[in-house]
Chain A
Amino acid sequence: MSMRTCPVTGLKVCPDAEALVRWHAVTAVVHFLIGVSAAILLVLTRWQAVHLLPSDWYYRILTAHGLNMLIFFIIFFEMAVLHFAGPILLNCRQPAAKLGWLAYVLMLIGACTTNGFVFAGKADVLFTSYVPLKAHPAYYLGIILFAVGALLDTSLFFAALVKAKKEKTYTGSVPLVTYGALTAAIIAVITLIHGAMVYVPTFLWSLGLMQMDPEVYRMVWWALGHSSQQINVAAHVACWYLLAGLTVGGVVLNEKVSRGAFFLYVLFISMASAHHLLVDPGVGPAWKVWNTSYAMYLAVLASMVHGFTVPAGIETGQRLRGFNQGRFQWLTKAPWGDPGFAALWVSLVIFGFGGGITGVVIGTEQINIIAHNTLRIPGHFHMTVVGGTALCFMGVTYYLLPLIFRRRVAFYKLAQIQPYVFGAGISLMGIAMTYAGSFGVPRRHWDISFTQAPFGVQFPTTVDLFMAAMAMGGLLAFLGGISYCLIAVVSVFFRPALSDDDLKRGGPGLPPGVVRLPSQTHTAEASEAAHRQGNPGTVVLVGVFFVCFILYYFTNWKILSLLWKVG
């Protein structure tokens, strides 16, 4: 089959790569649907006014929610991103497409197996499956198959880089988006190897063939569990740059800085397994301090750098398009009705202000004493991985639909508000969970009214308020999430394919960046002028961010200092 030329971007698209992107992305959305359906049941159970599920089903559905969202949905989508950022952005053919399909099938079989055993009640061990809690061996086997598939997909991305370089399908250095995807892929390899290191022995242990140490399990499992969230960070930062380019012609201010920041991720971000062992008996303070800070916060530095360069790139892009007045015209005149841009911006704000700040704070060795296993933890990661990564991927979807699936975005009006609804819901839920958690409300707990417990615990009534707010946020996020599934599924399966002319002609259901792609390159004169102008708006934004960061950080030290002496 011959390669087609994309009428919007001018890229040469290999049909094999395109098909792999499609199937991985669709399967991701299906798993998102399972995850989001589980989410609503969980929200309605933890909101004690409803308390929907019985205890065994609460823990079962919680297991399914974690797996389907954090592993199956996210990694299927990331594999789609890799097939896109590799062969498609680099204009080359998909290498070894058959292996790509093998990878896909392995991942699908793995996900179905594990899900099957979870829903059958054979694996009520929660997402973390801490040994010696034991699940059916097939549960572990399913995850191993999934990881092998993902590893295979990742190696095909590396193969695409080599092939494109060899065949000179592009000139210069790979685009920043591909570079970011490469970081994600490298972190994925590190992560998946740890996955094998923990799940293969655990599988053998579940068959009674070997012994497992609970603390070693925790350490190695989190080298999978947390590092897989770092694949997300690298992938969604790459997608921020991608969306910035597609929606407003956002520029790369300085390749050295952005690439350097991605490289810091590769070097340091996989140390975060420590975040889960800060109040564990198995490791000492020096190990905790060094690892929890990613070697002196160098990965945090990387995120802070992207936190400047992404909005600044958007600002400069907008200024180059003529929105040049004052500090903030570039923001007031931004395409807020473009679902891709809306998702990008809301994701950036939630990830930075919500997920980022809380993450660094609760990952501080001592502050973790007042955060470990409380609702503050899911409060934090719903603002990173859901408000940050998932929302960013939703924005990408609104561009993949016309560009790769060649379909109009169904229910476009709904798509335009979806990022706001979802973002508002997740923010409200995340903030409410964070506050409830600071009263000591535990995560993963069926009944915080403790009606059957020998010694009752009466949380203050403010906690009820926060739990109700969490439920409202959860309901709102559910509406946003289910709208996303509806839009994606209806667009892909129930809308006619578009021809090149249709795409150029525009019409309803096509984001503005697709109808008229903003200029991706600029003349030296325009660049020079924009460069002289700098980023006065972004400077204010990062200033506000920095003040929030400092306040939240030291408030937590203050609260910690009021506790019992512990040491």
Chain B
Amino acid sequence: MSEEKFHSALVPAQGVWWRPVGAQEKRWIQISFVWCMLMFAMMPLWHWKGGQNPSGIRGRVVPKDYRQRTERFIQDYKVGEEKGIPVVAPPAGADIYVEASMWMWRPILHLKQGTTYVLHLSSFDINHGFSLYPMNINFQVVPGYDYGLKVTPNQAGDMRIICNEFCGVGHHIMTGKILVEK
């Protein structure tokens, strides 16, 4: 170390600069490395032990077919209508289809707290964003792709779906509704 001369980063490095690392610098690199590995391990660990993962059942779907599935789902479990949008109360374990299109979420859902469903999300036209308020659960909704997520509501309430992916001039009026009962 003794023949080493400090210089700034503007000066070309002379001779062999592959030298031993100072003690503090070395310790910081070690700590950082361990932290990085820990953060990496957290993600698989959460898949194994944690309850919130964006895995889902993913597949391609033709938007017209997805619309048909949504309509059939609405027919099967429709219980009413609000502001021209059907209200649907599916049974426990059912496949739920929600379709995003410019600029609405269809249908309105009545769910039960503590019950598990498979929530399918897709778009009829362009990208949309599923953002559940006030839970703050967010997923991307992409046309041509079916995102089937197993969900278990753990809180009752009158919730909203906000579109949080820009989808044209009507983007800010695109809200939907999910009602979770006890």
Instruction: Tell me the A residues contacting B by CB distance below 8 Å.
Output: 9, 55-56, 59, 89, 124, 126, 128, 130, 132-133, 170-177, 180, 213-215, 218, 238, 241-242, 244-246, 249-258, 277-285, 288-289, 292-293, 296-298, 300-301, 304-305, 308-309, 312-313, 316-317, 320, 360, 364-366, 368-374, 438-440, 442-448, 450, 452-457, 520-524, 526-528, 530-531, 534-535, 538-539, 542, 546, 549-550, 553, 557, 560-561, 563-567
Contacts and interface: CB of A to CB of B under 8 A. Distances in A.
A439 B136 contact: yes
Contacts of A566: 51-54, 137, 149-152
B165 interface: yes
B12 A304 contact: no
B52 A372 contact: no
- What does DSSP make chain B's interface, helix, strand, loop or mixed? mixed
Contacts of B54: 278-279, 285, 288, 365-366, 368-369, 566
A279 B138 contact: yes
Given A251-B6, A565-B52, 16 more contacts: A132-B143, A174-B12, A175-B9, A180-B9, A249-B8, A279-B138, A280-B147, A284-B55, A293-B39, A366-B43, A440-B131, A440-B162, A454-B83, A455-B83, A527-B5, A567-B150
A207 B57 CA distance: 34
Contact of A443 (B17, B137, B164): B164
A442 B36 contact: no
Interface in B42-71: 42-44, 46-47, 50-56, 58-59
A215 B144 CA distance: 9
A133 B137 contact: no
Contacts of A369: 52, 54, 137-139
Interface of B: 1-15, 17-19, 21-25, 28-29, 31-33, 35-37, 39-40, 42-44, 46-47, 50-56, 58-59, 83, 85, 104, 116, 121-122, 125-127, 129, 131-140, 142-147, 149-155, 160, 162-169, 171-177
Contact of B135 (A175, A214, A292, A563): A563
A281 B150 contact: no
Contacts of B177: 455
A221 to B, nearest CB: 11
B175 A455 contact: yes
A244 B11 CA distance: 12
B166 A59 contact: yes
A38 to B, nearest CB: 16
Contact of A130 (B1, B29, B145, B165): B165
Contact of A215 (B142, B160, B163): B142
B52 A523 contact: no
B52 A527 contact: no
A241 B9 contact: yes
B169 A59 contact: yes
A565 B7 contact: no
A78 to B, nearest CB: 17
Contacts of B143: 132, 214
Contacts of A256: 17-19, 21
A492 B121 CA distance: 54
Q: Which 8 A-B pairs have the closest CB atoms?
A: A245-B8, A281-B147, A297-B36, A241-B9, A442-B164, A176-B9, A255-B17, A440-B136
Nearest to A448: B172
Nearest to A261: B29
Nearest to A449: B172
A27 to B, nearest CB: 25
A47 B8 CA distance: 45
B151 A565 contact: yes
A16 to B, nearest CB: 21
Given A282-B58, A454-B83, A297 B136 contact: no
Given A534-B23, A563-B137, A172 B14 contact: yes
